[in-house]
Amino acid sequence: MIVRFYRVSVHLLFVSAFTGYLSAQTPAFKVIQPAAYAAANSAYSPGLLANGTLYLSGQGSHNPDGARPTEFPGQVDQALRNVQAVLHGAGMDFGNIVWMNIYLTDTHDVAAMDDVYWKMIGASPPARTVSTVAALPDGEKIEINRIAVADTSLRKAIWPEGWPRGPHVDPPAILTGEILYLSAQGGHDPLTGRLSSDFSGEVKQALDNVSTILNAAHMSMKNVLWVNPYMSVGGQYDVMGKVYKTYFEFGNTPGRGTIQAVDLPKGEHMVFSCIAGADLSTRKAVRPRNMPPSPTASPGILYGNTLYLSAKDGFIPGQGMVTPLFDLQLRQSMRNLLDGLEEVDMDFSNVVFSTVYLRQMKDNNQMNELYGKFFKPPYPARSTLQQNLEINDEAAEQISVIAVKTPTN
């Protein structure tokens, strides 16, 4: 979901000057609505603060008046300013961000995006993933979502020995307390700069890179909670899975949401973006009874009070079937997500962050209407994208979520 804000009335600006942000809350959640911006009429929050972690919805390039810069560099600048506005609403800034995803719709825009990004992001950049997707809401060319933390006293970048550093190099990972957020890791060997010669080799090198970063943070692959595999080539899902499953213990694999992207930077065809947790005693694989164990993904991982739930689509568990009707697919996806939530005594009120992958962006309005029937305020942060052009892929519509238990649950 691209978040669009509109200029509010003088009266609301007067009130906001005292509050800093507008908020609605449960005992543990607080909606972050930037001062001088009016909320959109939809089932998402610009930001949702949960126990010191801020989850931000995907930000596009519309300014507070609803207009969009005509040139792409200006759009990047505005998208980052929209990110900053939400951060400021929570008393944070760019240095609080630990994990960022940037979605573009034209691979030729990567260099221009990077030029603006490095001028604005500051001296403490987050772990970052950049990918090219087929479409974003409202015809946007860029969407940015991210996770930020209020307490930066334990925030530090993780650099394995010998890995390249520089003023315009993403940190391999950001560690904040017990949680490690990894930048996208692909098929290049960081020590030599060489790209593996075939797809299987890229997958292996990328996962070796993940393992090296984890080791530098005194963790292992057992600590991984969540993985986003991004693939820019079709027909290789099984090849990726064959290599991927050798890195994890059967029945204890991380939660996962696989994105078949249009393109990836640096000529790579496979990258992995991950989140890991240091304390294995608080990590638990979650599997509803109707979902059989898989060698490549657990339905979800509960880490302390946070559930990382794998992307769910419209397949009916145990039946291997999916309806071609979009509204029924979405309802089944939500039912599958609810199965995972209920397994750890949560429901949709616990969701803080979601990503919706559409088969076609033309379904966005219908998705938005149906999606809103499953949630009540405070709404989770949300991002929406069409990942590729395979519009006949029956499993292209997916939703992944992060949920947090509240003290009252």
pLDDT digits (tens, 9 = 90+) for 245-270: 999 999 899 999 999 999 999 999 99
What is the DSSP-derived secondary structure letter of residue 362? G
Percent of the chain with pLDDT over 90: 77
DSSP string, 74-131: HHHHHHHHHHHHHHHHTT--GGGEEEEEEEES-GGGHHHHHHHHHHHS-SSPPEEEEE
Give the pair of three-digit tokens for residue 110. 């990567």
Which residues touch 403 (CB under 8 Å, ≥6 apart)? 306, 307, 309, 341, 346, 350, 351, 352
Burial 311-349 (b: 16+ CB within 10 A, else e): bbbbbebeeeebeeebeebbbbbbebbbbbbebbebebb
pLDDT at residue 23, rounded to an integer: 38
Are 45 and 90 within 8 A, CB to CB? Answer: no
pLDDT at residue 3, rounded to an integer: 52
- 27 has pLDDT over 70: no
- 276 has pLDDT over 80: yes
pLDDT at residue 390, rounded to an integer: 82
Supply the mean pLDDT for the chain: 90
pLDDT-based confidence at 37, cuts 50/70/90?
low
- 239 has pLDDT over 70: yes
Give the pair of three-digit tokens for residue 43. 């089932």
Handedness of CA 74, 77, 78, 79 (dihedral sign): positive
pLDDT at residue 17, rounded to an integer: 32
- Range in 6-20, 54-68, 82-96, 175-189 with the lowest mean pLDDT: 6-20
pLDDT at residue 297, rounded to an integer: 84
Give the E-state strand segments of 267-330 in sequence order: 270-277, 283-286, 300-303, 306-312
Question: What class has domain 10-404?
Answer: alpha beta
- 34 has pLDDT over 80: yes
